[in-house]
Every structure is written in C-alpha cells, then in structure tokens.
Structure 1
C-alpha cells in the first residue's frame, strides 16, 4: 500500500504529485514549489489538477478499512504471531476505534492536505490568462468534483467537520478553525457538484490520455448520492434521471466491469486510475492486501508474495448472494488451492484479482461510481416517494445482468429491503456498505444489525483465530460509533475543535 500523506491541514503545502505515462496524470513534479511562482501556465494548472487526482489514490488505498471492515461485509485473518495492528486496522473490525487511532489520523490528514492543494489551485485558475474559458471551466469542474468527494466522505465519517474552501492566509489561521455543521458542509458539497456538473463535459468528449477524468456524469452521480443521503428524494430522482440520457449502460457481463482490459467502460461514471508495472508508483495492490495470509502465489500468481489477509468476506456476505447470482464468483472466492492441491477455506475478495506482470503491482482501477449504482439509487428514490411500481424497471436491469429473475409485487417496505440486499451484493467490496447502512437504517436499527452480526462472528468466526480469544469489547457496537472520532492530535493543535460524543 502506498504511504498515506501524513501532513495535516495545519501543514498543507503544494504537493501535486507525479503520475503515469499515457494518461492525464503528468510526469512533471512541482512538489514543494512556491504557489506564488507556480500556477503561471496552463501546463502548471494541468499538473495541479493531476495532483488532485493522484491524491485520490492515496485516499482509496485505505478506504476499505473505514467503509467495509467496520460493516458486516468483511473481517480479518488474524496473525497470532503479529498483533501490531490490534489498535489500528483490527479496531475497525471490532468497533474499538479511539481518537488515538493512527489510521483515522492518516485519513483525516490526507484528506485535508488534498483539500488544501485543491483550494489553492481553484484560487489560481482565473489568474492564468493563457487558458480558454472552456478549459478553465473544465479544470474548475474537476477540482470541484474532487473537493466534493472529499467533503462528502468526511461529513459522513465524522459529522460536522472543518470546512475550508479558500487557501489559508497564514499558518496561524489553521489553529483557529472550528467544525461547521453538517448542513453547511452538505450545502458546500451540493454547490461544488452543481457547479461541476455545469462546468464539466460529457464523458464521451474525453479521448486518449484524458479518458478517466471526471465528467458531467461523475458530478451528477455523486450529487444524486448526496441528495439520497440527505433524504431529498425528489432532487435525488431528478438528478439521477439526467444520467439516463448521457449514454451510460450496463456492460453485458458483471466480470467485465472490473476487468483491467475494460477500464472506464460504458458503466463507469468515475474510477480512480492506476497503472500496473509502471515506473512512477501509480500501480494498485488491492489483491495483495485482500488475499489470505499464507496463500502466496495461489491467489496472486507470485509465490514470493506475502498477502496481508485484510478485508476478508464474512459468512454474512457470502450467504447474502442468491442461488444463481453470477456476481458471487466475480466478487469473492470461498477459498484457494495450494500448489500441493490442498483447498484452504479462507474466503477472499476476488473483484480486483487480475493477472499482472510485476509482483506487487496490479493494474486494477478502483470503482467510485457505476451506472448500476445509479439505477439502484434511482429505484430507491422513486420507492421512497411513491412505492415500487415505477422503480422495478431499474432494479431489475441490475438483477437481469446478474442472471436473476425480476422483482414484482412488493410493498414499499419489502422493496426497501430488496434495495439494501441488491446494493450489498452488486456493490460488494466497493466501499459503499458502511455508508448504505448509515443512510438506510436508523441508528437503533444499525446498532441491532451490527451487534447481531458481531455475535454471529463470535459464535462462529469466518476465519479461524489461531487460538486468540475475543476480548469483552470486541464486536460491541454502540450508536455513537456511527461517527468516527476526531483525531486527538487535531484537538491538541486546535482548541476550537470539539470531539464527537462518546469518545
């Protein structure tokens, strides 16, 4: 896993990182250059935008910890001889996260470092004269989309957060920031995405090395999800319906959605770009993080590899797939066979498991928004307003592609359950489950569901624990834990910040 930037909002600096050949990411590296001397040409603006995209790699590299492992979708394969992650990654699995958790601090700091750079770039674009108005609008739209992505995640993880949309005049200003209300943060996210949708071109206009940039569909898709999260169903529906006219479609086979030979396909509204086997650290390695410990080459194809055993599919998600659902074999495997022909029944995520040429360097992009997600969100928004009669056509497109029969004759409540089920299996291991639970369930319902899951794992763990006993605090989910704690270091540095209740 690429190292997450550990530079907080208090230490933000211009860090537009280098990236990969044959893509819109640029090899030039203006890291640490003075902002006053940079941002003078269109090429430099392009580099700044590329840096914002590059920061998203660092962000999604760790999102499975916060958005999947805290849910009922995935668990961990313990290494009894090495418990160094007990208070880090394991804490999310067992809901033992505290304000001192390093992973929380890293994610928080990386997000604000990226936001600092985005704010600087946005403040400089209009001052560059040698850029057409059309290109300025596009660059602004891309940065607005990425800024909205960060704040949308932050407000869902932490609730009220520090909202900064302009460069800080001096370092001391950073010590005087306070958390803005959720309403204010969402208002900014909606504004950014509305502006981005107006500024960005259609996906079809991007060719060659520009394929993969944020487009109008990207902005509308994320905006629709924001409205759905806010339970503004009429606006969610009207926003998502706009995407139906933009040329997106489901690919014929579910496996082809994730194929490295089919990146940025007709179903993709936005995915974080990676390049395997490149020379500038732009490869992914999700396969190595998710494969079982000890599986070595049986999963990765390289006998010298040492997979980490994180994000292991639970018995719960395995059982969620209906008989005949073609998505199951693509999404996960229930075990692997060693070179001696022995089957080891430790499940693993298979969605990002594709052939690659260099050990540790995979070519898999990470899906952020897909057309299937849009269809399911649209079905949900319609059902919440008027029941399922006009929503079946959207959910059934997704089920038909999975080889399943269509739904009919459901009540509004049973359709809600059907949507939760369909989203869980369709979007499995794509970092949606935690947010879907928070959006679709009351806090009390979420407490009940997760504690029931925890008790089931305690009674019959998905993966053998090697003799390591559970502690009294393992799998005990309290309602306040639906929000993560503000990192203690931030509270120490900025006395205006407050902690979330319960921590």
Structure 2
C-alpha cells in the first residue's frame, strides 16, 4: 500500500511528486516503489485495504461532525479542563470558526484518502490484472470516494472535486471549489458505476466489504438528499437480500457483525495488538465513570456524545430500542450518578481500550425509513409508505401508525429515524436534509434554549458563554479550514466566517 503523509494541506496530498534525473535519488531496498506495485491482484487488494483503513480513522471522530452539532448529544462538561473548548466542544455549542483544528484535520484526512483512491484507480487502469478481478476492487474504491464526497459536500457545501492525481505541484494551486451540483453529479456517477462493478455478496472471509446493495443504498440516499424522490424510490427498492434483525441489539453486538440487516459498516477488530480496534465505549462513557461503564477502572473516559434530555424524551413508552441505546445514569462506588451515556457500542472486551465494535453506516432499517420518506414526499401518504415505517416500529415493540397526512407522516418518519438511528451519525444530515437554513437556525436555537435552561449534564457552576447555542444561518455549512485559505488564494471562504 502506498502511504501518504499529509503536511497540513489538501494540495500536498493531491500531488504525485517526481524528481528530475539530475537530482540525487536514493532507494530504500526494503520498500517496494510505486512503480513496482499494483502489478497483481494481491497488491491491488493491499492498496484497497489501506483505503478501508482510512475509513476507520475518519469514522473515529465522525460523531463530532454528525452528532454533536445536532440535538441528539452533548458532552460531560469538565469545568477544570477547557482544552477542548476551541476544538471538539465548539461543535456542540455552535461556536465553530475557521481556525478550528478538528475541521483542518478532517479536511486533510478526507483528501489524503481521496489521493490514495485516485492513485490506486489510475495504477489499476494500466495494470495487466484480469478485468474480472479488478472490477470489484474498482467498485469498492469508487463507492468509498462517493461516500467521502457525500460527507464533504454536506460539511462544507462547494468543495474541491478531484478525481485524478496531479503530477505537478503548481497545478494544485489552481484548484478551486466546485459547485455542489458538480459534486453531487460525481457522487452519482461513481455510485452508478460501482453498482455495475460490485458483487451482491462475498465469501465469508471477505464479509464487510462494499457490495452492490451498499452502492444502491448510498445512491438512494444521495437522491433523497437532493430531493430527487422518484429516483430515490426506484433505487432504494433495488436494495434487496436484506432483512431486519429480529432483535435491535443484534445490529451492534460484536459477535453478530455483518448480519442480515447490515448493508455497510466500518470494520474494527479488538482483542489483539493489530491496531484495528475501536474504542467508542471509552470515548462516549462519562468522564468520571472510571470502570463503571467500560469495565476497566484504570482509564479516563472521554465524556463525549452524551445523550441529551431532549433525545431521551423522544422515546415512546415501551420502545425496546431505548434500553439498547442508552442509560440515564451509572453507579460508581455505590453512588448513582445521573449522567446519561450511550451503551449501543458498549460490550465486553478482553483488552483495555480495544473494543471489537463495528460502526454501522447503512442498515436495512435506514433503507426502509428512506423509502417511507421518499414515497411520502413524492406522492403523499400511502399504504406502502406506512408499511415501511411500521416494519421498523414493529421490531421496536411499538404500535403501527396510520391515517396521517403528508406533514404528520413526515414528522413521524423523522422521529422514527431519530430513535432508530440514534448515535449512528445520521441526525445532523437528517436535519439539514429536511430543513432550510432558516428553519434549521430556528430549530437549533430552540433546542439550545432548552439545554441552557436545563442542561443535560451539570456544569459545575460554570455559566454558559454568551455565544453558546447561538446558531446562525451560515452554520448550515462548516467553514473552510483557515490553513487551506492561507495556502491557496483561489479558495474562497463560506459566508459568515
């Protein structure tokens, strides 16, 4: 696999550097150069595995950008350590600015991954490897590129769209942000091509790789996000071969990974020293809970992604998903501490800090709810739309809904998505998809007012900052990282930053 070092900028991660013959060139005899790599199927698979590894890195902090900004989660406030106030905490309190380090990091992570994808695709195109062997690898790479831009365009709006490597450094400084329409068109193109290249299933040893069903599901979500409802319905109905797990908890149990409901999930492996583990249980546990939540006392939990009072109240009485997803307190040394926390990703494990939980990206329940939404938006309430919604509710132990008009059914679907997909990095994009910037501003300010009046977690006597939970229209998009603007004068900043 070709390793790319990111030096604080998109541009350096886009460029394939070359040296003239008269420059001093040394070769490390222990390493395989890129000119000798990508020659057989094994090497192509190794390059692909490296891209999957990039997905792990990106997913480790995706909650910061996809849950924290929403009304789903908050943080276990630490009055003695305000080191995160300018970084990850800013996403909770709506105080993000262009100098935020988390934004700079995620930008570089995505574009480093894009470079590796583009480079692998180019080298693979010239490879003599059998076309039948290359097809699924190409399909996986194009799906992951589409998934990356699916997130980037919703984070930043217009983004730099690059689908090939650059061979001269100067060319990087001519790159500009492409309009969102062009980015969405590229996402659709990659996913349509992936559908034709990917298999429906893999052998057991390769479970977890991107399938045709995953490409169709993300393509359907792409159409839904753009309000192309008829296309979304047609595409999502092609996502077949999946079924809801009988038990909601089976979706998150490490012993039942990649089950019948799983369409695509980020793969992790704990219990060893391979460095492929997840650690969400530690990140999300209350910060002073020690081992009360994780089972290992000599740790310092992160206290991040704490379920809000607002979300907890959204569960209907008798909803079986609530006790699988969260707890409202923990007990330490015989004392009950009333701080909620996520348990969806908390399971027994054998090594401190190394959990075995995968991260769900696309589940069949998501597809069913997208179908209900798309049908309702395209043609209004129908028996079919209610059926898709009620399949999800039935598994949750809830009564079927019926007889709602279009607006009421829209609200019911959104509420169902909120609790069904809670803490799976869906909420912020759902809010953005279903609300205009002005509507989202009013919604988030109303939520912020409730959280300030009655915080989910005690703040230890520290008052809210005057800017906390003051959401403005421009926050519909994140700012372009300040280092990128400084590096290239051709990059423009989003309004309001």
In 1, the alpha carbon distance for the partners of 2:439 and 2:31 equals 47
Q: 1:278 deviation in Å? A: 2.3
1:468–1:34: structure 2 CA closer, same or farther, 3 Å change rule?
Answer: farther
- 1:6 deviates by 6.3
1:46 match: 45
Task: State the 4+ residue runs in structure 1 displaced beyond 6 angstroms.
Answer: none
* 1:231 paired residue number: 227
Deviation at 1:126, TM superposition (A): 2.3
Mapped pair 1:392 → 2:386 = yes
Conserved 8 A contact 1:73-1:317 = yes
> Does the 8 Å CA contact 1:13/1:32 hold for their aligned counterparts?
no
Report SS of the residue matched to 2:256: coil
1:25 corresponding residue in structure 2 = none
Distance between the aligned counterparts of 1:493 and 1:328, measured in 2?
47
Segment of structure 1 superposing worse, 33-42 or 167-176: 33-42
CA change 1:5–1:375 in 2 (3 A) is: farther
Partners of 1:393 and 1:450 lie apart in 2 by 31
Give me the whole-angstrom Cα distance separating, in 2, the residues matched to 1:293 and 1:5. 31
Aligned match of 2:480: 486
Match of 2:108 in 1: 109
Partner of 1:160: 158
Which digits, 9 at most, give the CA deviation of each residue in 1:231-270, with x for residues without a partner?
0000000000001xx3100000001111001000000110
Q: Distance in 2 between matches of 1:184 and 1:170?
A: 24
Structure 1 residue 36, shift from structure 2 partner: 2.4
Write the distance in 1 (CA, Å) between the matches of 2:30 and 2:68.
33
Do the aligned partners of residues 499 and 250 (structure 1) sit closer, same or farther apart at CA in structure 2, a change above 3 Å counting? same
Partner residue of 2:203? 207
Match of 1:280 among 274, 285, 288: 274
**Is the contact made by 2:315 and 2:322 (CA closer than 8 Å) also made in structure 1?**
yes
Structure 2 residues not aligned, in runs of 5+: 17-28
Report the counterpart of residue 408 of structure 1 in structure 2: 402
| Contact 1:190–1:223 under 8 Å retained in 2 | yes
Report the TM-score, using the length of structure 1 for normalisation: 0.93
Counterparts of 1:7 and 1:407, CA distance in 2: 51
1:209 Cα shift? 2.3
1:8 matched to 2:9? yes
Classify 1:241/1:32 alpha carbon distance in 2 versus 1 (closer, same or farther; 3 Å).
farther
TM-score, normalising length: structure 2: 0.94
Is residue 125–residue 136 contact of structure 1 (8 Å, CA) maintained in 2? Answer: yes
Alignment gaps of 5+ in structure 1 = 16-29
Q: Give the paired residue count.
A: 480
Q: CA deviation at 1:208?
A: 3.0
Match of 1:312 in 2: 306
Q: CA deviation at 1:393?
A: 0.7
Once the 2 structures are TM-superposed, how far is the Cα of residue 39 of structure 1 from its aligned partner? 1.4
1:242-301 per-position Cα deviation (integer Å, ceiling 9, x unaligned): 01xx31000000011110010000001100000002222100000000000110111000
Deviation at 1:337, TM superposition (A): 1.1
Match among 150, 155, 168 for residue 170 of structure 1: 168
Matched, 1:341 2:331: no
Deviation of residue 31 (structure 1)?
Answer: 12
Query: What is the alpha-carbon distance in structure 2 between the residues aligned to residue 6 and residue 148 of structure 1?
Result: 24
Q: Who is 1:359 aligned against?
A: 352
1:26 counterpart residue number: none
Match of 1:179 among 177, 186, 194: 177
CA-based RMSD of the aligned residues comes to 1.6
**Quick one: structure 1 residues 34 and 11, their matched pair in 2 at CA, closer, same or farther if it must change by over 3 Å?**
farther
Q: How does 1:402-481 map to 2 (within 5 A)?
A: 402-481=396-475
Tell me the distance in 2 between the aligned counterparts of 1:336 and 1:388. 42
Distance 1:78 1:423 in 2: 27
Q: Using the alignment, how far apart are the partners of 1:5 and 1:56 within structure 2? A: 16
Tell whether the 8 Å contact from 2:15 to 2:166 is kept in structure 1 after alignment.
Answer: no
1:418 to partner: Cα distance? 0.4
